[in-house]
Amino acid sequence: MTVPSGEKARPLRIVIADDQASVREGLVLLLGGLPDIEVVGAAADGQQALELVAATEPDAILLDLHMPVLDGLGATRRLAAEHPGVAIVVLTTYADDGSVLDALRAGARSYLTKDADRADIARALHAAAGGLTVLDPRVHDLLLQAAAAPARPGAGETPGEAGPPPDGLTQREVEILRLITRGLTNPEIAAELFLSSHTIKTHINRIFAKTGSRDRAAAIGYAHRHRIG
């Protein structure tokens, strides 16, 4: 959104959820001290986070995965269903592929580890609120490695056999999804396949619709689950 000359942009309104008081209070001080972020609430568990989001209607929420009462994954699922306009950014100590994929499947838009600095967290929150995905570099590498892992033949299959693509994906869409898992941008995919950027964008929108993916990170998770890579 373009801000008229002379007017200040509205700060990004966020909720922070972490069960460790020292971490939660530290994040409130770190992020609340930025001129472009306003912390409107801090929660000690997932249930409190849901109540705060309902009461304050923030732009984004920064939450840990492992919390009491209602954990981060449960909170993420409910937030995605009940407050789809709120961008969900996970900030956690866990960077294993299972935690990452579970969070992205649940509806998280971005995923950072707790060694991220204040600038990285702020950028991720602003990007997520703008509809973009930000992944910790280690998380991104982990997803790419998982997606590129060789598939094991399932029951009744022999190596080299391949069934039809899942969920009505075309072979071209599968090809583009593979390139997404490799981290290629739209222009790079277009150059690789000798297609226009507009055509690639149309294919990617169809991929998202067919796979139920909100963004590229979710599509990478889908590719990993279906051994497309």
Q: How confident is the model over 14-30, as a mean pLDDT?
A: 95
pLDDT value of residue 228: 86
State the SS3 of the chain: CCCCCCCCCCCEEEEEECCCHHHHHHHHHHHHCCCCEEEEEEECCHHHHHHHHHHHCCCEEEECCCCCCCCHHHHHHHHHHHCCCCEEEEEECCCCHHHHHHHHHHCCCEEEECCCCHHHHHHHHHHHHCCCCCECHHHHHHHHHHHHCCCCCCCCCCCCCCCCCHHHCCHHHHHHHHHHHCCCCHHHHHHHHCCCHHHHHHHHHHHHHHHCCCCHHHHHHHHHHCCCC
pLDDT-based confidence at residue 184 (cuts at 50, 70, 90): confident
CATH number among 1.10.10.10, 1.20.140.10, 1.10.3720.10, 2.40.128.20, domain 165-225: 1.10.10.10
Q: How confident is the model over 47-51, as a mean pLDDT?
A: 96
pTM > 0.75: no
Does 1 have pLDDT greater than 60? no
pLDDT value of residue 157: 41
Of all residues in the chain, what percent carry a pLDDT higher than 90? 38
Q: How confident is the model over 95-120, as a mean pLDDT?
A: 84
Does 114 have pLDDT greater than 50? yes
Does 160 have pLDDT greater than 70? no
Average of per-residue pLDDT values in the chain: 84
Does 33 have pLDDT greater than 50? yes
Q: How confident is the model over 190-203, as a mean pLDDT?
A: 85
pLDDT value of residue 149: 54
Q: What is the pLDDT of residues 72-101, one digit of tens each?
A: 989 999 999 999 999 999 998 876 667 787
Q: Which CATH number applies to 12-135?
A: 3.40.50.2300
Domain ranges of the chain: 12-135, 165-225
Q: How confident is the model over 194-211, as a mean pLDDT?
A: 87
